[in-house]
Amino acid sequence: MNLQYQGQNMEYSLQQSRRKTIAICIESDLKILVKAPLQVSEQEIQRIVEKKAGWIVKKREELAKHQTERQSRQLSDGRRLFFQGEPYSLRIITGEAKKKQKTENRVEISGKTIIVYTDQESQAEVYHNLIQWYYEMARQLIYQRTSHYNERLKESINRIRIKNQRSLWGSCSSKRNLNFNWRIILAPPEVADYVVVHEMCHLRHLNHSPEFWAEVEGILPDYKSDRQWLREHGNELMEVI
Ligand SMILES: [Zn+2]
């Protein structure tokens, strides 16, 4: 059966059975299926479907958008990834992970490609190896940057933790514990530095007072552009993987 809507031609299939109501379904392949009771005429069905045309178009667009999003999230060859603010393309090499015992070795950068080695071709293993590697890279970077800035700040730090969160970039507690999100490894190095310095300055001022910001500015005079970068792109990095 056919349906015209705002110059668009939409085909739908009709399935009549011993049911009581009419249902319009958008299938996963975006085809339209109308289920109707036996006693309703095709003309009547056509009239009802026409009335619902706007809704059908909207639903189909939503579903299509959802599907593309899911596909772009899939970890397959060519998928765009980030590392220290630079875009990379993913490449998966299957059947070689066992030879590479350490997590650091299960992923490597070659030119503009991030290569992930796996034993089996499974999304879960690619994800696991990739996240473990990001996490390890983040840990190394954060430890190195905190000790670098602490040569100047000379604050006592109780513990540094690398966390997996989708909201905070970092935090500092009154017990002098510093927490950082591993996703700062996805951001440009100067932005990662800003997050490190921001949390370290909380060791002196556990607030966002003018004194706190003066402390940050004393170490990173251009911190405002890094903070702005995080405001503009932070959400994207939180969602990317
Ligand atoms: Zn803060």
* Sequence-distant (≥ 6) Cβ neighbours of residue 93 within 8 angstroms: 115, 116, 117, 118
User: Comparing 122 with 89, which gets the higher pLDDT?
Assistant: 89
CA of 202 to the centre of ligand 1 (A): 7
CA of 171 to the centre of ligand 1 (A): 7
CA of 224 to the centre of ligand 1 (A): 13
User: Is the pLDDT confidence value at 71 over 70?
Assistant: no
CB 161 within 8 A of CB 177: yes
Q: What are phi and psi of 153, to 5 degrees?
A: -75, -35
CA of 227 to the centre of ligand 1 (A): 11
Provide the CATH number for the domain formed by 126-240 in this structure. 3.30.2010.10
What does each C-alpha distance from 104 to 130, 131, 137, 164 come to in angstroms? 9, 11, 8, 18
CA of 176 to the centre of ligand 1 (A): 13
Threshold 0.85, pTM exceeds: no
Pairing of strands 23-26, 80-83: unpaired
C-beta contacts of 191-195 below 8 A and 24+ residues apart:
191/85, 191/226, 191/229, 191/230, 192/84, 192/141, 192/142, 192/145, 193/145, 193/149, 193/220, 193/226, 194/220, 194/223, 194/226, 194/227, 194/230, 195/169, 195/170, 195/230
What mean pLDDT is reported for the chain? 91
Mean pLDDT of 5-11: 82
What distance in Å separates the CA atoms of residue 226 and residue 220, rounded to the nearest whole number? 10
CA of 134 to the centre of ligand 1 (A): 24
Per-residue confidence (pLDDT) for residue 108, from 0 to 100: 94
CA of 45 to the centre of ligand 1 (A): 60
Mean pLDDT of 190-219: 97
* pLDDT tens by residue, 59-70: 888 888 887 777
Q: Give percent above pLDDT 70 in the chain.
A: 99
Please state the domain extents for the chain. 2-73, 126-240
CA of 197 to the centre of ligand 1 (A): 10
CA of 218 to the centre of ligand 1 (A): 16
User: Comparing 205 with 95, which gets the higher pLDDT?
Assistant: 205
